Amino acid sequence: MTFVSKAALAALFGLGATLAITPSADAQRKKKEEAPAAPQIQISEAFRTAALAADAAIKAKDFATADQQLAAAQAAATAGNVDEAYFLAQLKVSAAQAKNDRPALATAIDQLLASPKLDAGAKGELYYNRGILALDAKQNAVAIQNFERARAAGYNNLDLDLRLAQLNIQGGNVDQGLASIDKVIAARKASGQPVPPNWYDYAISTLYKANRSAEASQWARRQLTEYPTQANWRKVLILFRDRADNKGATLGNQARVDVLRLMRETKSLADQNDYREYVQTTQDIGLPYETVAVIDEGRATGKIPASATIFTGLKTTAQGQIRTDGPVTGLETRAKSAANGRAAAAAGNVYLANNNNAKAVELYQLALSKGGVDADEVNTRIGIAHARAGQSAEAKAAFAKVTNGPRGEIANFWTLYVDQPRIVASTPVVGNN
């Protein structure tokens, strides 16, 4: 990054050895008639000599000589001479850059910015880079001050708003910081530039840390709209699940299984650990048909290795439960004669596990009509069955009935999935998050 104005230094180095030559009266009058007089640069011969020597030493990377000549120029400078102060600051910036002396560079930039001789058009970038130096020194307040001055000076760089956003968030001003990120994203999209995925990651993480999960979910949906990859689906859903389990709260297995079902649909179950969580959840809440189906799928895709014998035991247990429960038709018969909808919901779960989506919807609807069930849970699963059947409008209508709490967020994620292409972008998915 070049801070030193070549034009300014040329003005200094182009001066003759004698500065006190006065044009004749006729020459002065003629010049005045032709054009307005340019501002006169006032420097002493001693200052000029030392400054030229310092510049030559900096270019030769002879920093010991450069420091001596800068000290000589400083000593030769006349108090109150803005020209000499300006050129001296330029040289100090040049020397600090050449030596990669960041503290000295920060001081020199401050001196240059204080000069009334500095061109207004150069201030924005100088303020921005002074802010970067402050960030490196962990001087956040100084960084914010300089970034804001850079923006006021007309410096137009998207990184400026992003850095200000991060600093505001770190300082506790989450709303202002997120508004800045939103502005940067809008500007990039308007100019046809892609939005880096990690910008969304930062916003989502910030909102979850601030216990603003509903807004975090909105940002997550924005990211998935733009980047509907397997890796992003997994990351967003696991982040949602982990935050829902935070501070003594728990998502609950009935809600958790619907998150895992979405991970299965988006092909974002990464490895045997994800499959172990899935089948343990289905086993705990009495869904043996789904336990068997998920284990078989995991083995078929190679994500459950043959050496993982624990899945053999889990499958055997689930198959024993299926034999005990009897045929699903028996569950359906009992559901129709039951006083409430719980048996119908259980039969719907079996049909959902077996990918018989039409029958699942039928039984879930029966469960709602009989009552005694969690309507949000059942409507979520009606939406899942429709989504699996490719019935987008019906799926979204069911999900729209689920609006509160974590269930509402889960329904929103499923709705987003319905709106995405059916084939999720193939991206390597890494487990152990």
Most confident by average pLDDT, 21-35, 304-318, 410-424? 304-318
Q: Residue 360: how many CA atoms within 13 Å on its side-chain side?
A: 22
Helix-helix angle 272-284:288-301, to 10 degrees: 170
pLDDT at residue 61 is higher than 80: yes
Give 73-117 pLDDT, tens digit per residue: 999 999 999 999 999 999 999 999 999 999 999 999 999 999 999
| Backbone angles phi and psi of 419, in degrees to 5 | -80, -10
pLDDT at residue 244 is higher than 70: yes
pLDDT of residue 422: 56
Say how far apart CA 163 and CA 25 lie, in whole Å.
57
Q: How high does pLDDT run on average in the chain?
A: 86
More confident residue, 221 or 267: 267
More confident residue, 74 or 211: 74
Say how far apart CA 423 and CA 384 lie, in whole Å.
17
pLDDT of residue 421: 65
Bridge partners (DSSP) of residue 425 are: 229
pLDDT at residue 414 is higher than 70: yes
pLDDT at residue 302 is higher than 90: yes
pLDDT of residue 34: 55
pLDDT of residue 161: 80
Question: Which structure tokens are listed for 260?
Answer: 């895992």
pLDDT at residue 278 is higher than 80: yes
Sequence ranges of the domains in the chain: 1-17+41-118, 274-325
- Rounded mean pLDDT, 277-293: 94
pLDDT at residue 266 is higher than 50: yes
Helical spans, DSSP H, in 326-374:
328-337, 342-353, 357-370
- Rounded mean pLDDT, 161-185: 87
Say how far apart CA 121 and CA 235 lie, in whole Å.
44
pLDDT at residue 139 is higher than 80: yes
At position 303, the amino acid (one-letter code) is: K
pLDDT at residue 17 is higher than 50: no
Q: DSSP letter at 35? A: S
pLDDT of residue 83: 92
pLDDT of residue 208: 82
pLDDT at residue 429 is higher than 60: no
pLDDT of residue 23: 38
Q: DSSP letter at 211? A: T
Q: How far apart are the first and last CA of the chain?
A: 39
Give the percent of the chain with pLDDT over 90: 59
pLDDT at residue 398 is higher than 70: yes
Distances (CA, A) of 6 to 11, 54, 62, 86, 94: 9, 15, 20, 13, 11
pLDDT of residue 29: 54
Q: How confident is the model at residue 201 (pLDDT cuts 50, 70, 90)?
A: confident
